[in-house]
Amino acid sequence: MGFLVLCALTFLTVPSHGREGRLDTINGYRVLHVAGTPRQMGERHGRLLGNEVRRMVDDLVHPGGSTGWLSYQKLIEGTKVMERHIPSDFCTEMRSLSKAAGVEYEDLVAAQLFGDVSRATRCTSFALFGSATATGELIMGRNLDYWDNGVSEYAAVLIHFKPAKGIPFVTVTWAGIINGWTVMNARGIVCSNNNSYGRSNSLEGISTCFMLRKIAQQASSLNEAERILRTTPRACGTNMLVAQAHPANAFIAEYDHSEIVFRRAARGYVIASNHFRKLYQDEDDEPWCYRYRKVEELISENYGQIDRSFNLAGEDGVPITSMNLHSAMLYPATGDFCVAMGKIPACEQEYRWFHMDEDGVARGK
C-alpha cells in the first residue's frame, strides 16, 4: 500500500492566545501549538479547544461514556489513586486546562487515565532499522485501536508542545488529552504504548500514557528512556515501544507494577501487540495474536526493501478496522511523519504528511 502524494497544502490559522498558543489547520488536520510553562500551555490549550474538550469529557468520562463497563464512581476512585503519581508539572497543566475549558479537574484527569483504570488490550506498534529497511533509517509505525464513543471525529488533533523545561515534541491525540498515545520529540525519540496484563497490575504508579509524555519531554536517547522506565514508579501491564533515530535502535519495555524487562531489537526490528513475550513466560508457550504475526510476516516478506513508500501500519490485518482510531508512520531521522485519523477506520482514510522542524513546529510536507 503506497502513500498518496499531496498536491495542495491547506493551512488555516485560528487567532492565537499570545505567543504561547496557536491553532492551525494543516493538510486538513488541526495542529495545536502550545509553549511555555505548564500553566501557560494548559491555559492556551483550554481556550483554543475548549468546546472540543468539554464534549470529549462528556462523551468519554461521564455516565454512559465509552468507559462502558466501569461506573463513573469507580473511574473517579481509580483516578484519585493514579493522580497522586502524575508529575506535578503535568497536574498544573491539567488544572489550567480544565479551568480554561470549563470542565471539572477530576473529570479531565479521568479522561487521561481511563485506559489504565478501565483496562483493555488493543493496539500494535513496531520499529525497523538497519538491515531491515532499504536505507537503514529507523521507521516506526503505530495503530491506536480502542473504543472512543465518537470522540475521534471531532477531537482528533496533533499537538506540538514546546515546554519551557524539556524537549519539544508532537503527539497524535485528542483535544484535552495532554499525554497522547503516539509521540515523537525533537531529539529523534519516538514511542507508543500497548496495554497488556501483568501479574502485578496496580494503580499505584504513573499511568502508561504519562510515562510516554515523560519520555518524550525528557529523553534524548534510548539510555535516558530506559533510565526513566526503570526509576519511575510504574502501574499497569504495558508493552512500550521506544526507538531513536541516531544511532538507529529500538526496544520494547515489557512491564507491570513490580517487574520490567527490555526486549531488544533482533535483525533490526521489534514488534509489540498486547502480549508479553519475555516477561513472566516462555515465548514458545504463547499463541501470539494475529496482528503480531501479520507484521512479522510482512517484514519477513519485504526484509531490506521497506522504505517510506510502504505503509506497513495500514496493511490488511495490522489495524483492527472496527476500532482503528489513528494510524501513523514516523521517520524521526528527518522529523517526517504521516498520520490518518478522525474517522473509523483511520487506516482507510488518507494518510497526511507532516514535518517537525528542529524547533518542534509541525507543518505540512
Residue 161 is predicted with a pLDDT of 96
Give Cβ neighbours of residue 249 (< 8 Å, ≥ 6 apart). Answer: 129, 138, 222, 243, 265
Q: Is residue 253 part of a domain?
A: yes
Q: Is residue 326 part of a domain?
A: yes
State the Cα angle at 190 between 154 and 85, rounded to 5°: 75
Report the CATH number at residue 293.
3.60.60.10
105-117 and 88-101 are packed helices; what angle lies between their axes, rounded to 10 degrees? 120
Q: Is residue 48 part of a domain?
A: no
What's the CA gap between 45 and 301, in Å, rounded?
Answer: 44
Structural domain of 266: 124-149+186-364
Q: Is residue 245 part of a domain?
A: yes
Number of domains forming the structure of the chain: 1
Q: Is residue 98 part of a domain?
A: no
Residue 18 is predicted with a pLDDT of 53
- For cell 502550545, the residue is 34
Per residue of the chain (365 residues), give pLDDT as tens. Answer: 444 333 333 444 444 545 679 999 999 999 999 999 999 999 999 999 999 999 999 998 986 555 555 688 888 999 999 999 999 999 999 999 999 999 999 999 999 998 887 766 678 999 999 999 999 999 999 999 988 889 999 999 999 999 999 999 999 999 999 997 899 999 999 999 988 876 777 899 999 999 999 999 999 999 999 999 999 999 988 999 999 999 999 999 999 999 999 999 989 999 998 888 888 765 545 556 889 999 999 999 999 999 999 999 999 999 999 999 999 999 999 999 999 999 999 999 999 999 987 665 566 66
Q: Is residue 138 part of a domain?
A: yes
Q: Is residue 6 part of a domain?
A: no
Neighbours of 247 (CB within 10 A): 11
Whether residue 225 contacts residue 182, with contact meaning beta carbons closer than 8 Å, is answered with: no
Q: Is residue 73 part of a domain?
A: no
What's the CA gap between 167 and 347, in Å, rounded?
Answer: 29
Three-state secondary-structure class, residue 2 = coil
Residue 350 is predicted with a pLDDT of 95
Give the strand pairing for 11-14 and 21-26: antiparallel
**126-151: buried (b, 16+ CB within 10 Å) or exposed (e) per residue?**
bbbbbebbeeebbbbbbbbbbbbeeb
Residue 286 is predicted with a pLDDT of 52
Residues present in the chain in total: 365
State the Cα angle at 341 between 338 and 345, rounded to 5°: 115
What's the CA gap between 279 and 64, in Å, rounded?
Answer: 35
In the chain the first and final C-alpha atoms are separated, in Å, by 19
The amino acid sitting at 360 is: G
Q: What DSSP letter does each residue of 220-232 carry, written as one string?
A: SSHHHHHHHHHHS
State the Cα angle at 192 between 24 and 10, rounded to 5°: 20
Residue 106 is predicted with a pLDDT of 96
Percent composition of the chain: helix, strand, coil (DSSP 3-state, to 5): 30, 30, 40
Neighbours of 42 (CB within 10 A): 27
